[in-house]
Copies of this chain bind each other. A is one copy, B any other.
């Protein structure tokens, strides 16, 4: 069978499974999720064996230590996957929820009811834990999922898929609800992106290169974000201690993630006092400062920023810093260089807080809080399948509800249209 045929058969099976999943009771889905968790724990030795093959291949291929770390299925990672599934089982089921209902003048009762999207194509890099996370969220929201992971993780992913399929069957659900494409051939990704009759949405997760490839080659709608160039604007009226804590947290708590701060904007009135202080604290944590000319005057250790630093997603202990004349210049800078991901203002001024919240065109806009809160779990969505920085369907972190659509349900007593 060709790769295209293989992928097509899998998508057909997923479509069939999706029909059954769409009306599966919550109890049955939760039972499957808990069975998956139990099976992962039980099958840990076999999973680690499969993972060892991947790790051996990765070492021979000379993968970086960071990549090998992400690829590794340790006991802790397996336990964390299992616990994650149990957490998803405990979340409310979005499917079937009537989100609103109203009566029309002619007596018709009109409601909107949540339904699954159908079949989700999930494309990601070599992180086997993502296989299980995505499977759990898709299953809970009544969607079938076809998973295409990175080539270095194939053996691990196939072993995980076997465990998941058994748990699905044991719970009376179709094993085709969660399928891993069993090949490292990149043609499988292209084939999946062409199945627009069978797949409802593609969610890619990984580096910008992978996501661009998916976006440019997909005949299916894609929910994606390319990068997070997140800004913190410290306003003139900011509480300086609060601003310092937020800046340190936003930059240093986990610098390699998309919701870390990449550019700090400081109001010129506060800059002479605040900038030396925050720069000192950041540098003590190992952060390299790349500043505008004014910043460099106030912070002699700063390197001069070049144009490429302003739209950069460093994902590292590097921070671009700019002194701005005021709110308008801060908003213009964000508009020009930002990625519509996450921006925060630190201010004591109510009107300016409100102005910033209204004007900034990003998926998450915060007042007096760290950018690191752009996360489905942190914002209260329960869990997160990804972040979308295009505005269609969902903007920002996507939880279970964002893996659903809504249909209109209409109850009448014989109404006709005149």
Interface residues in chain A, defined as those with a beta carbon under 8 Å from any beta carbon in chain B = 19, 22-23, 96, 102, 104, 108, 110, 113, 115, 117-118, 200-201, 216, 219, 221, 239, 242, 245-246, 248-250, 253, 335, 353, 357-359, 361-370, 372-374, 378-380, 390-397, 405-418
Indicate whether A363 sits within 8 Å of B417 (C-beta atoms), given known contacts A335-B19, A392-B117.
no
Given contacts A335-B19, A373-B108, A408-B363, contact A253 B417 (CB under 8 A): yes
Q: B110 contacts A249, CB within 8 Å?
A: no
Contacts of A23 on B, CB cut-off 8 Å? 358-359
Determine how close the nearest CB of chain B comes to the CB of A239; give it in whole angstroms. Answer: 7
Decide if A369 touches B242 in the complex (CB within 8 Å): no
A414 touches B245 (CB 8 A): yes
In the assembled complex, which residues on chain B have CB atoms less than 8 Å from the CB atom of A412?
366-369, 373
Q: Is there contact, CB below 8 Å, between A396 and B392?
A: no
B200:A407 contact, CB within 8 angstroms: no
Neighbouring B residues of A201 by C-beta, 8 Å: 392
Given A221-B221, A367-B410, CB of A391 within 8 Å of CB of B110 = no
Q: How far is the CA of A248 from the CA of B416 in the complex (A)?
A: 9
- Residues from chain B with a CB closer than 8 A to the CB of A368 are 411-415
Q: Is B391 within 8 A of A200, CB to CB?
A: yes
Bound-state Cα–Cα, A395 to B118, Å? 13
Q: Which residues of B contact A362 (CB under 8 A)?
A: 407
**Which residues of the partner chain B approach A219 to less than 8 Å between Cβ atoms?**
216
Q: A364-B408, A369-B410, A369-B415 provided; 5 other pairs, C-beta below 8 A? A: A242-B414, A245-B414, A249-B417, A357-B411, A392-B405
Which of B113, B216, B405 touches A391 (beta carbons < 8 Å)? B405
**Selected A-B contacts with CB under 8 Å, 29 pairs:** A23-B359, A110-B379, A115-B361, A115-B391, A115-B395, A200-B391, A221-B221, A221-B390, A242-B413, A245-B414, A246-B416, A249-B416, A250-B416, A353-B411, A357-B409, A357-B411, A365-B407, A365-B408, A367-B410, A367-B411, A367-B412, A370-B417, A372-B417, A373-B417, A378-B417, A379-B410, A395-B406, A395-B407, A397-B408
A365 → chain B closest CB, angstroms: 5
Chain B residue numbers with a CB within 8 Å of A395 are 115, 405-408
Asked, given contacts A104-B380, A364-B410, A407-B396, whether A117 binds B370 with beta carbons under 8 Å apart, the answer is no
CB <8 Å contact, A390 and B200: yes
What's the minimum C-beta distance from A99 to chain B, rounded to whole angstroms?
A: 10
Give chain B residues whose Cβ lies under 8 Å from the Cβ of A415.
Answer: 368-370, 373
Shortest 9 CB-CB distances between A and B: which pairs? Answer: A369-B412, A249-B416, A391-B405, A372-B417, A242-B414, A366-B410, A393-B393, A364-B408, A368-B412
